[in-house]
Structure 1
Amino acid sequence: MRCSWKSVVLLALASVAIQYTAVRTFCSDPLSLLCCGRRRAPHATPPNCSLRRLPRGPRGGPEGAGGPRGARTAAAVTSSPRHAAAAAPPSPASSPGRRTHILILATTRSGSSFVGQLFNQHPEVFYLFEPLYHVQLALLPRLGQSRNPAERRVMMGAARDLLGSLFHCGLGSLEPYIQPRPARHATDKLFRRGASRSLCSPPVCEAPLEAKEQSLVLADEGECVRRCGRLNVSVAAAACRDQRHVAIKTVRIPQVSDLRALLEDPALNLKVVQLVRDPRGILASRMETFRDSYRLWRLWRATGRRPPNLDPGQIGSVCQDFLRSVATGLAAPPWLRGRYLLLRYEDLARSPLQKARELYGFLDLVLPPAVEAWITNNTRGGGGDPASRQKFTTARDSAANAENWRLKLSWDMVVYTQTACQPVLGLLGYKATFHPRELRNLSHSLVEDRTFRPAF
């Protein structure tokens, strides 16, 4: 049988095509050694090799992805459209055993200490209270509340790096910010160590509080320091690695967009709970707590005359940060979808158990009976208990406290604040008041019934 040269060429091309298809199919097989094994050429990028083919580290992410170099490597892989779907962090619903990292994003006097305790009371959560305090103190105290964009970028860069390390239990990254610097990894200067049960319990504390004295961790945080002595940062890091989840509370991150790099890190399963409160309530609480800083506001309330040198930014910056951050969160950009929950303080104060269950559901965690009992005991008021009168305590009648700012601010101050914060009040469902009698009538709530659900 005779064949023309054209037929030979066509047969050769068909043979090459068949071999190429076979190689592609073989390389897409997860067990392929040609694709991801040692036989590939040096520096060659294997086809269809996603992060799922890499050796898994002890925390569920690719080995080496915990540090900055690993994060950059993972980011480089996911930047390719071909690899995007395979490299995207799986949702907790599809990975129930995966470690969850929780960040409570709040501002001062918004109820963040209480929300933090919802995780601090969980036996499988390693909880840190305001570790970014040390970053703020080291970089100059004024940077923490600065409204200068350049200064805020300095603070945020250091804060993001530290948070990334802390979520991977790299507590040693905190040591350079603690003053004086820990000697042999031991310090007694960690900010409010007593607010964390993890740092006041074995193995971190060799002389832990007894069960009947656990309330002292909240009522008298100094008792933890007196009983436990200096904190060994290395031991605390080991205890962190033994826990299933890590939760951190901070009031030093202005907006959720400041966390984008962490939220996009495939080595982190990070979820953000943004806690907000009526700015009028925040102002009233700060006036009582930070008396020196808010001295002019207190003078205005006492005299009825607004001081000409009053700093409107003390409450205006809160409203601007809320507006930008919440608008971003509710818009649910791809990098934030399924990782952001908006929580109003007033809703939590009125229905603490219901909101706690919703919060745990968002995080795919089980709400233990011990946490439910703690919520019940700490939201019914303290009566004659001295702890209930402390300004930083979490034990109080939460429902009665939700709108009691209406009895603490003068009418002029309320009008001034709600005018300056009008956009964010509307976004969050807080009603403006238009008459002094309406302001004082606590039977009429100024909080609209709103449901904020995370977008997936």
Structure 2
Amino acid sequence: MSRAKPAAMQCSWKAVLLLVAASLAVQYTAIRTFIAKPFAICRVAKQRGGCELGTGASCQPRLGDGEEEEEEEDSGGARRHPASHILVLATTRSGSSFIGQLLNQHSDIFYLFEPLYHVQTSLINTSLRVRPPIDGRRLLLGAYRDLLRGLFSCRLHDLEAYIRPAPEQHSTQRLFRRGASKALCSPPVCAAWPTDGQPEGGERNRAAAASERWEEGECVRRCGALNLTLASGVCRRRHHIAIKTVRVPEVGDVRALLEDPRLNMKVIQLVRDPRAILASRIDTFPDSFRAWKVWRNSGRRPYNLDASHLSATCGDLLRSAATGLARPHWLKGRYMLVRYEDLARRPEEKAQEIYRFLGASLDASVRRWILNNTRGAGASGNHKYATVRDSAATAEGWRLKLTFDMVELVQDICNLTLVQLGYRMVSSVEELRNVSVSLAEDRTFLPYL
């Protein structure tokens, strides 16, 4: 008699796929458990984050029942607002690197550039491959919120669950765009930075002086591995934390964080004319936008043109701005919409508005950066994230690059978004090319206070 085949041999490919999906769900649960470490509770004191460095524990200031957070004093003895943290929500090629640097230059702001990149790459390379799109979006947004909550509490170790290869002894060479953050490229985080001739007066003065010679590529080469424990300590000594991301589609996706009183989080939603976004993406990502580039260069629309990314971008902008401008109760005091065109034309005025919204003063280093980075002849080098340029001219330079047929297509797809955000549409080539007349209407978008 022939013996029956073992039961394991009778499993179908569908059962195997289900087992893989289940194991990946367990993996994500394990990651969330790993990063959700308990943190010490401390009362709000005169100096933010009354925790000692080097203890390995994170400390989250928390208010007791009926207790109000005290205003602090700056180095000059002036009263300043309670600590607040800011999330810049944007889309790719909307000017988010520019606004990020306006925050990065401030001596009392700890800035991180796109930390959610690590979550996206880690999860897309594993569990998202076997999940449908809706489940994948939900999984990503949940992981994004978890990491943001940790980073706004200065728990930079939470990044270790996503960085590949994994950090060793809390040090890594692989933090995405580390060089875009002054705090991560200055003393004491970057001990290798030259200190000769730097002024006395504490960590922030030395860091500010070092940053005068700071460039992103040089930072990565000279500073060596990033010690996340040391960086977390510096984060706790700053009054504000700012994070920029293009990976959260809508402001409603971070509602749970905005309603968490421990975070005191505020959102700046940066928007830009979708026609300008398209023109910038064509130049910056030629491989992904090859068909669009062919259309622009030849004047003939390719049969395989994919405009789905444009529909998605305009849909996200429309829904998110509609939520913010409707002023729901959970956004009161926490939402500000900024058009890139307004920021580019009046950088210091808009920077003042942003800092008032944040509850901080516009210090000299920010003013100096604005002066040096908004009056240049063009982008510095060929780096796609360069910020040295004639910002006013750059804001509407797309009008000399796109063909009128391309602009008409964008206007058809993004009609409602253009109207809501105050961008004029054009009906002729002459109107498109006449850059002396701005297509950004005079609109005032006040913070929701």
Q: 1:168 aligns with which of 150, 153, 161?
A: 153
Aligned to 2:84: 100
Q: How many aligned positions are there?
A: 382
Q: How far off its partner does 1:426 sit?
A: 0.3
Quick one: structure 1 residues 231 and 61, their matched pair in 2 at CA, closer, same or farther if it must change by over 3 Å? Answer: closer
CA offsets 1:190-215 (integer angstroms, 9 cap, x no match)? 00111111001111111125678736
Task: Work out which of the two has the higher radius of gyration on C-alpha atoms and give 1 or 2.
Answer: 1
Separation (CA, whole Å) in 2 of partners of 1:147 and 1:350: 43
Length-normalised TM-score, structure 1: 0.77
Q: How far off its partner does 1:391 sit?
A: 2.3
Task: Note the aligned Cα RMSD (angstroms).
Answer: 3.1
Quick one: structure 1 residues 261 and 209, their matched pair in 2 at CA, closer, same or farther if it must change by over 3 Å? Answer: farther
Q: How far off its partner does 1:141 sit?
A: 6.3
Q: Would the aligned equivalents of 2:112 and 2:243 in 1 still touch at CA under 8 Å?
A: yes
Amino acid at match of 1:105: L
Q: SS of the counterpart of 1:199?
A: coil
Q: Would the aligned equivalents of 1:101 and 1:167 in 2 still touch at CA under 8 Å?
A: yes
Q: Does structure 1 residue 263 correspond to structure 2 residue 247?
A: no
Within-5 A mapping of 1:403-414? 403-414=396-407
Aligned to 1:358: 353
Q: Would the aligned equivalents of 1:255 and 1:325 in 2 still touch at CA under 8 Å?
A: yes
Q: 1:274 aligns with which of 266, 269, 278?
A: 269
Q: Would the aligned equivalents of 1:135 and 1:158 in 2 still touch at CA under 8 Å?
A: yes
CA offsets 1:304-356 (integer angstroms, 9 cap, x no match)? 23223222111111100000000000011011111000000000000001000
Q: How far off its partner does 1:296 sit?
A: 1.1
Aligned to 2:193: 208
Within-5 A mapping of 1:184-263? 184-208=169-193, 214=211, 217-218=214-215, 221-263=216-258
Q: SS of the counterpart of 2:269?
A: strand
Q: Would the aligned equivalents of 2:186 and 2:211 in 1 still touch at CA under 8 Å?
A: no
Amino acid at match of 2:328: P
CA offsets 1:373-400 (integer angstroms, 9 cap, x no match)? 11011000146xx835432111100011
Separation (CA, whole Å) in 1 of partners of 2:67 and 2:416: 38
Q: How far off its partner does 1:225 sit?
A: 1.5
Separation (CA, whole Å) in 1 of partners of 2:350 and 2:118: 31
Q: How far off its partner does 1:273 sit?
A: 0.5
Aligned to 2:340: 345
Aligned to 1:111: 95
Amino acid at match of 1:326: A
Aligned to 2:316: 321
Aligned to 1:80: none
Amino acid at match of 1:431: R
Q: Would the aligned equivalents of 1:110 and 1:276 in 2 still touch at CA under 8 Å?
A: yes
Q: Which stretch shows the higher mean deviation, 335-344 or 303-312? A: 303-312
Quick one: structure 1 residues 324 and 163, their matched pair in 2 at CA, closer, same or farther if it must change by over 3 Å? Answer: same
Amino acid at match of 1:295: R
Aligned to 1:442: 435
Q: Would the aligned equivalents of 2:111 and 2:241 in 1 still touch at CA under 8 Å?
A: yes
Within-5 A mapping of 1:279-318? 279-318=274-313
Q: How far off its partner does 1:280 sit?
A: 0.3
Length-normalised TM-score, structure 2: 0.79
Q: SS of the counterpart of 2:158?
A: helix
Aligned to 1:158: 143
Separation (CA, whole Å) in 2 of partners of 1:135 and 1:188: 17
Q: How far off its partner does 1:149 sit?
A: 3.1
Q: Which runs of 5+ in 2 are unaligned?
A: 1-40, 52-56, 73-78, 199-208
Q: Which runs of 5+ in 1 are unaligned?
A: 1-53, 78-82
Separation (CA, whole Å) in 2 of partners of 1:148 and 1:430: 32
Aligned to 1:6: none
